[in-house]
Structure 1
Amino acid sequence: IRMEQRKELVVVMYNKQDLFKKMGDIIQAFNYETRPTVSCKHLPWVADRSNAEVKRNVNCDLYEKKVYVRQCIVGKGEDYRGKVFTTKSGLICQQWWSKFPHDHWWTPTASNGLELNYCRNPDGDNIGPWCYTTDPERRYESCNIPQCKDEVCITCNGEDYRGQVDHTASGKECQRWDQQHPHQHIYQPEKYPDKSLDDNYCRNPDASPVPWCYTTDPLVERENCNISKCLEKRQRSSFTTNCFRGRGEDYRGKINETLSGIPCQRWNAQNPHEHPFYPNIYECKGLEENYCRNPDGSEAPWCFTSVPEMRTALCLQIKRCADDIEAEDCYQENGKNYRGAVRKTRKGVTCQRWNVNTPHRTKINPLTHPEANLTENYCRNPDGDQHGPWCYTTDPKTEFDYCAIKQCGTNPFYLLTPLVEFSECGKREDRIQSFLRIVNGIPGNSPWTVSLRDRKGNHFCGGSLVNSRWVISTKQCFSSCYVDLPGYSAMLGTLFRDPQEDEPSVQIIPLTKIVCGPSESQLVMLQLEFPAQFNERVSQICLPPERYIVPEDTECEIAGWGETKGTGDETVLNVAKVRVLSNSGCNQYFRGRVRESEMCTNSFQGGVGACEKDYGGPLACRNSDCWVLEGVIIPMRRCGHPGQPNIFIRVSVYVDWIKKVMEMA
């Protein structure tokens, strides 16, 4: 029944029944007055986690104070409001209002927290929270409640720390992660759901040496937290040496050069590039020699290069470990007549029943395809998908996927050369251009080329806009088919890697879904949160007819903001002209390793090719007056290497899958 005005909020206590616990005088929650002109914000001492109590009504929201949720103490624990009621030796605590068996002078009030028989520290005793015991022979005893800094210890640099320390080493209170005051930052919880950025607890979302937080002191942006290190180091059993999983943080192989063939700088060296990743500080990151590693949670293993002009580079020549489960059966031809009992996708997800509409509403079911034997949730191929049997999945985020079934033997692979007709796609306004290259490329106009941005807003890969809501890129750009996309976005309509303020056509659209292509495709489709607006700077590129072969010597373009190896301006969108090379000619160079689902282009004298951060971008070829997405840029052992042909994923082989993904969504 009192109202207290504070900056940016009004604390309103309506009645004792709502706000006072059993005794009627222990305040555990407060609320914000709902006013249209005020934007309400949580405060550092408010708990907003699953284990905190929240009461909501039309007038206000009541949040339980963090001290009532915390299971550890800060300092002497004078503000401890937990519910422990036994001492360190196991004795039951005496009720604070009782004078038996021990008489005392403490009286429960609204401020001292002497509630029921819970452990408290009303006199600031050095032993921490204590209580009078119900044993007549033992007057009082410590409850031995752990310090928050010791409750959960950290290993390595504490990236997996999930404890409840909320003050820095100097005693400053931490700023809540979901607030931008007093310090603005990029680490919003919704963008980093895997980092557990709860309330204002110390965390390590950026792979710093130790957990830290932003402070509530306007003059001090961030400080490290004082958290105990575990005495025993946990041994990791997930290290890999020949491939990498996820983002490659557990990769311990010996690749020590970039995809371009540039040697890596040693981790214990500060020349030519100074950096904070000292091996003795990041002791669990495997920073030996000059091997590719991922100490900061980047998209893949990387290293500082030995070239002063290039600070870092991803080591995308390292293969990703296969994440498909072992095939349980096989199918003939395209599997349209498969009638086996496999009911699991290649990722191990159980199939959805064909005759139900949850979690996905089915467009193909026993009523629409009675001849396809769509019984129970068995894998089938009712639409003749050339990539084999599939099913709707029980994963709400994945409509359909191909099944854990392989082809029985090998079937002939036929490519076609149909008559090509296109509608209103692949159009652009061609201006007079002064040519520079991706590697030996030129600043150019490619309105369907997309810049994919990570959670920090940095460009990391390319893509192609094939629909107002869909972008095609390569799987190598992402840690998995189930990567958390909050914070990732697609930037369209810009010629610059870092857009200029006078670029009104720039569109930044969040990514909401990732769909991985057939296992051998290396493709992903990315769904945009809302449709792109087409204009002279933003346009969709045409898809080729299914299994179309681009004639040899056709002139095409590659585009991107990637590495130019000093031959151009990496801050602008560069375009390079390349000519198609037949697969037979390409295989003479690569000794038969190029598949029919891939295509090649010649390399001009001096080396023209795609490099790091171009991956996922388009190989666009002109057909009549339209530009067609014939290939997708993928990593190679060397990029822009003189005399080396460039290899791309042949998009025409996967057009049916691309259309199916867009239709199913």
Structure 2
Amino acid sequence: MLQSLVSGSLSSLVQGDILDNYVRTDGAWILGQKNQFYPTLNREECAEKCEAEQKFICRSFLFANKEKQCITLADNSKTTVMFRRSDVVLFEKRIYLLECQTGRGQDYRGTESKTRNNITCQKWAERSPHIPNYSPTANPGAGLEQNYCRNPDNDEKGPWCYTTDHRTRFDYCNIPECEETCMHCSGGNYQGKISQTESGIECQAWDSQEPHSHGYYASTFPDKDLKKNYCRNPDGEPRPWCFTTSVTKRWEYCNIPRCTTPPPTSGPGRQCLEGKGEDYRGTIAVTVSGTPCQSWSAQEPQKHSRTPENYPCKSLDENYCRNPDGETMPWCYTTNPSKRWEYCTIPKCHSTVAHTEITPVVVPEQAAVVEDCYEGIGTNYRGTMSSTITGKKCQTWSSMRPHRHTKTPSAFPQADLRRNYCRNPDADKAPWCYTTDPSTRWEFCNLQKCTSPGQLQLQTTMTPNLGMASSLNADCKTGNGKEYRGKIAETARGKPCQEWSSQTPHRHRDFTPQTHPSSGLEKNYCRNPDADINGPWCYTTDPGKTWDYCDIPSCPSPQFQCGKAKYEPNRCFARIVGGCVSKPHSWPWQISLRTSFNLHFCGGTLIDPQWVLTATHCLDRSPRPSAYKVVLGLHRERATEQSVQTRNVERMFKEPSGADIALLKLSSPVQLTNEVIPICLPPVNTVVADRAECFVTGWGETKGTGGDGLLKETGFPVIENKVCNRPEFLNGRVRTTELCAGNIDGGTDSCQGDSGGPLVCEEHGKYILQGVTSWGLGCAQPMKPGVYVRVSRFIPWIERIMNENS
């Protein structure tokens, strides 16, 4: 149970780390009407100042690392506006963020201020309309602030308040139980510590890939508390579950008791479609094809687990269309025995019916060469980078989860705040984004400043997957600049730097030549001794500014890097079947595998100047390498461009255990050009995160969607094998050496002619080959996503073959 953390005494602290009682957010700053400043040495000392604060109830504190400054605050992110600021960490008392109760709710410190009968509460300090027995002065440790529901007398029925209705002296409040010892609904918010399955098997830790590899990463599910090996429900199952430590049992449900108090109220619901329609509560009960829906409580003709008992908070009434498990839109099981389920047609909220236009396929002209870099401070950057300097995924600008903010597309219409692409809407020092990590509000993006004519030029043609040596003494940085040893000695705002060995005008003791002898803290040069993610910095000679970042340009990249195209791709996520025509040469690792008669029949991926990866089943036509050839640098299937290169196949290597993956050694290395660049390979045995957005490309069957003869692309999410192997999807057919990707409702997929081609996912500004197109049940069919060979499982085999046959 949570301990009370109200002001006045340190004796009430939970045993252990004092910071365990706080929620941490990097890069967040809040303003409070009441605050106190303290010089402190560390965060723990700042937390002690917050606990001992006498002038107000301390709900949070800010800690500025380099300034060594602590600010205690009466406010938190629920009561005031939050801003971005670098090198500041916000710590908020967990107890003041919770809107639930544990036990009788004596420690409840939330902001509910209405009774269960919807009567507004009277302020505890007031004496009208009711003279209270409990007040802030008489009960200083009970949290009797404003008119919030509280339980100062430890009433067994939970938090209550005096009411503003003179006829009703007091009433109880509807405060749900915190899901720590029990669960509401399907346990999607359960945060308890049960870590055994219903059959008694110990759970596998979420950050472990042994004994079962999986795609459920904490960064992908930031609001699901995937920590340690606790039972959780990140994917809409009927109740919490976990991967097990038994090699013979991949996952299993956990026995979590249901809470006895009512679940949080979700409102009356909508009668129209908004977003995914998870709050749709209308009475439409027919699918898109006109088939009547089956009652959710029935098991005929479809047997299923989406029952009112398993999903008690999803209003599975009658046979009405609903979205209980986070699908694309409301759906239902059908009364047609041959059609298990279908989506429903729900009118959109606040929309008018417009005529539908068929958009013709547009064949783009040659795209301009795009260096994914920014000029100046990047306010005009319009690229598609969507990850930060530490590799965190960017939050969509229109989303308020996990971070609420004001930098929305409507508020900044000229800033091009599309999807989750890095941008600089407020003229910061470089493009940035809010992150999907709840503990890191924002970060600068993994982008370099464009090389200007006067800067160092390195035009090194390099072999893919190899690094580039950089000069430590060059006035440019690589990564976060921890190894920077150049001689820039002023901040980005033009202020001269203070010498590291000096204590004037700013006293400091953490970053000196003595404390960091290997960090190059000589004279007053900009350095990064603490590996700050935003780059080198220095203390300044301005008494009013303790420190600031330096504007150190990034060292130029090699001319060709694996996984980095010279032509910016469309990144089409349209409804390849149902995809869109690619920009020419924006996927320069895509190859066409052809017969000796120049007939395209399969795809493949260039992974090295002399090696191509494809599917084994693409080589069933002939056992002779001379029966095949590889064509590269093409956009049109006819391969009429001047950029085309053709190579014969010298040797073929099929994966020996029977996996659908094969290596082709070309007769000679290809020439790396803007149109021919290899893809990057993933680390051994890595698993793509569930819901990661990836792309497939190919010249395969388009099923009448247009773009025939041109390279097409489409993007869709990876589907974790646990979900993909459900009976309604691929029913256990997907092996651990394979992965699924696609839209559950169909419409987009790889198809005949795309086999052997790449499934690529972007990481740190590069595309990584995660899958080889292998098989599927039809093309773009609902509930039948495509299946791809998981490349990371075969990296040792790939490396061995390439090394032995170089």
Taking structure 2 as the reference length, what is the TM-score of the superposition? 0.29
Taking structure 1 as the reference length, what is the TM-score of the superposition? 0.35
